[in-house]
Structure formats: structure tokens, C-alpha cells
Amino acid sequence: VIPATDLTKSPEEAAKPEAGNDINTPAGKVEVKDPAKLTDAEKKAIEDKVKAVNPGATVAVDDKGNATVTTPEGKTAVIPAT
């Protein structure tokens, strides 16, 4: 069961920038040579794109390009590589 608080937002949250959504996915993707084993430069490029749309967040990118994002408020989400 998904709690109602995870499915609804107040008018105040809806009026905030990004409508109260705390974790955003970048529109553009990073081109990589081998999707199964990213280079450090490719991981850094992904990290930079994710940080650009999630100011103040901590971002960790694994070898396959999945980005784990943690907001300053402590919310965490994974943005899958695909």
C-alpha cells in the first residue's frame, strides 16, 4: 500500500519550483563507449548533468551509469542508466 502522502501534495508544494519534486532527471544523456563499464570521465559527466538539475544534492554514479541522488533534506532516489 502506498501512503496518500506519497501520492499527493499541498498547494504550497505545487507552487514551489519543480512543483515540490525534489529529484530531477536531466533531459540530455551522456554518450558512453561501453555501457557496462563507464570510465571515470563518463561517470563525472553524468554526475555533473544530474547535479545541474538537482542543486545541493549529493550524486554517486556506478560503473553502469546508475546515479544515486541524495537531497540536502535526506531524500534518496536512483536514476537508472537506461
Cα-to-chain-centroid distance, residue 59: 8
In a domain, 9, yes or no: no
In a domain, 44, yes or no: yes
| CATH label of the domain that carries residue 72 | 3.10.20.890
CA quadruple 68, 52, 18, 82: dihedral, nearest 10: -50
Average pLDDT of the segment spanning 55-81:
93
Look at the chain and report how many structural domains it folds into: 1
Query: How sure is the predictor about 9, in pLDDT bands with cuts at 50, 70 and 90?
Result: low
Percentage of residues of the chain with pLDDT beyond 70: 84
In a domain, 2, yes or no: no
Tell me: the pLDDT tens digits for 44-61? 999 999 999 999 999 999
Query: How sure is the predictor about 65, in pLDDT bands with cuts at 50, 70 and 90?
Result: very high
- Quote the domain boundaries for residue 61: 23-79
Tell me: the pLDDT tens digits for 28-42? 899 999 999 999 999
In a domain, 63, yes or no: yes
> For residues 14 and 82, what is the distance between their CA atoms, to the nearest angstrom?
28
Going by C-alpha positions, the residue among 33, 30, 36, 7 that lies closest to residue 20 is: 7
DSSP class of residue 24?
Answer: -
In a domain, 4, yes or no: no
> For residues 7 and 36, what is the distance between their CA atoms, to the nearest angstrom?
34
